[in-house]
Structure formats: C-alpha cells, structure tokens
Amino acid sequence: MTEPKLELDGSLGCIFFVGLFSLMLYGCTCGQVLYYITHYGFTDHRYITIIVILIWILDTGKTIVDMICGWEFLVWTHGDAFALLARLPGILPGEFVLSCSTIFIIQCCYLHTIWRFLKESQHHRHWVLFMLPPLLLTVVSLIAGLVGAMQIRMADGMDMALSKAKATGSIRPGCSAIVDIYITVWLCYHLHDARTGHKRSDTIVTKLISYAITRGFCTSVAQVLAFALFLVDSRNDTLYSMIFYIPASTLYVNSLLAMWNARKHITQIGTPTIPSTWGGADISLEDRSMRSSSLETPTRRERFASRPSTLAGSSFMEDFDR
C-alpha cells in the first residue's frame, strides 16, 4: 500500500488544500465586493462597477466549480479513492476556462493603466513597442488556458490529463508571471518618475508603489510556483501545482479590488488634487503644478515643462469617462 498511498497523498491531499485556499480567498473577494458597494456603490463610474460585477461573477462561478469537483473527488468517491486516478469530473474544464478568463481581464486592466502612463510620458512615441510584448504574452496565456481545458476534457484520467496538458499547463502560469513582473516594474518606474518633491504628494506616490510591489509579488510568486510545480507534477503524476494554480485567479481578483477600494484612503493621505492611480477621478498634476507655481523653484518649473506628469490621466478607465 506504500506506492498507492504516496500517489493519493499527492492528489487527494492537494485537492483538499485547493478547496480550502479557494474558499478562503473567495471569502476575501466577497468582502472586497461588499466594501466596494458600501463605500462606492452606484456613485462610482459605471464601467468600474461593471468590471467589479463581472470579475465577481467569474470568481463565483470558478468557486462553485471547485466545490463541485471537490465533492466528486472527496465525497462522491469516498471509499473508492482510486477512482480519482481513473476519472475526472466532467465540469473540471470549466474551472480552467473561468480562471484564465479572469486573469486575462485583470491583466488587461493593468496593461491599460500602463498604456495611459505611456501616452502621457516621454515614451509616448514608442508605446506600441512597450505594450505589444506583454499583450501578446497575456493572449498566449489565455489561449493556453483554453486549449488546456479542451485537452483535459478529452482525457480519461489524471495521468492522461497531465500528459496532454503538459505544454499548455506550463505556458499559462509562465506567461502570466512574466506579465505580472512587467506590470510591477513599469508601474513602479512611472510612479517613481512622477515624484514632485512635495512631501504630501510623494507620500501618496510611495503608498501606490508599495501597493504595486505587493500586488506584483503575490501574483507573480503564485504563478512561478504553479509553473515550477506543474513541471514536477507532469513527471510524478501529482497535483501539487494545483495548490497555486487554481486559487491564482481569485488572488488576481482580490488584488484589483484592493486597488480600487483603496482610492479614498489614498486620497485622504495627501491633498485632494492628487489622482488615484487605479481609480476614476484623475486630476492632472500639471494643474496642480500651475496652482503651486509660486512655491516652485525655477528648476522645478523647468522640470514640469520638459517632462509631462506620468500620473496625469493614468486611470485605465478614463477614456470611457470622456
């Protein structure tokens, strides 16, 4: 019984932790949505509300699928645990479709924010060069997730599913991790470039940078671990990668909702004319610099004239508002 026991430890045990982590993160998602409704409700921009509802619906559907799969694995086949190795739930591909779609939407939101930065910065002429690689990687990650779901649907058991989805299962988290690192680096660069020398505004920029780093660290680490463990699982017929692979989309949802829910908190730190980087009410820093021009040194005024503020119009939803 030693060999079968080891196989079940690497499969049933992982499924238990997957369900536990998914439920915990989904609880955080519901808390974030309730906070958004309470503090922003219908006073926020309509497109922000639509995206919040959309990603909440997708995350809810994914969690429901996770629970159904967990029920079939851990309860329905109780007493016949070896059925896990021979049969997969028919609804399982739906989990991968919902999860990769959620990650795609959220990464596109962050990429649009970077695009707004680039359009207002000195790199505006080369924005295609900077935006095309991460966008392609995001699309490749989405396609890999959808193809992997189809391959799992045609598999008869766990061994065949891991064999069929070996390439697509590693491409999806690998591409997502690269895009997350890219997003984090660019946001930190542009936010740091937007420092003005004023203590109150720089405090807000520092807070935004810490949010960007925290978000990027959590999501990219989860994707890197899923990528590395998936390579191990494909050789050992285990499911350790699923501990990070499946809850990843819910982690993305929480990262985006946390950014949006922190808008009022961030604006209360400094002056009300400082824009919320991921929010809707952006006010150009050029306006602020003109209002405080009497307090600026000539060197500071020349700096603003030669380099437009990268925070001006940085919200990825600003186009819709216009």
Whichever domain contains 173, its CATH number is 1.20.1070
pLDDT (tens digit, 9 = 90+) per residue, 290-313?
344 334 444 433 333 333 333 323
Q: What is the residue type of 153?
A: R
Answer whether residue 281 shows pLDDT above 90.
no
Confidence band, pLDDT 50/70/90 cuts, at residue 178: very high
pTM over 0.85: no
Q: Does the pLDDT value for residue 246 go beyond 70?
A: yes
Q: What is the pLDDT of residue 135?
A: 93
Which residue segment(s) compose the domain that 244 sits in? 2-84+92-321
pLDDT of residue 85: 59
User: Of 46, 65, 145, 63, which is closest to residue 105 (Cα–Cα)?
Assistant: 145
Ranges 158-162, 221-225, 246-250: which has the least confidence: 158-162
Q: What is the pLDDT of residues 54-79, one digit of tens each?
A: 999 999 999 999 888 878 777 766 65
Identify the band that residue 86 occupies on the pLDDT scale cut at 50, 70 and 90: low
- As given in the structure block, the two tokens for residue 194 are 């937007």
Report whether pLDDT(263) > 60.
yes
- Least confident range from 3-7, 35-39, 225-229: namely 3-7
Task: Return mean pLDDT, the chain.
Answer: 75
**Domains in the chain: how many in total?**
1
Structure tokens at 211: 């949010």
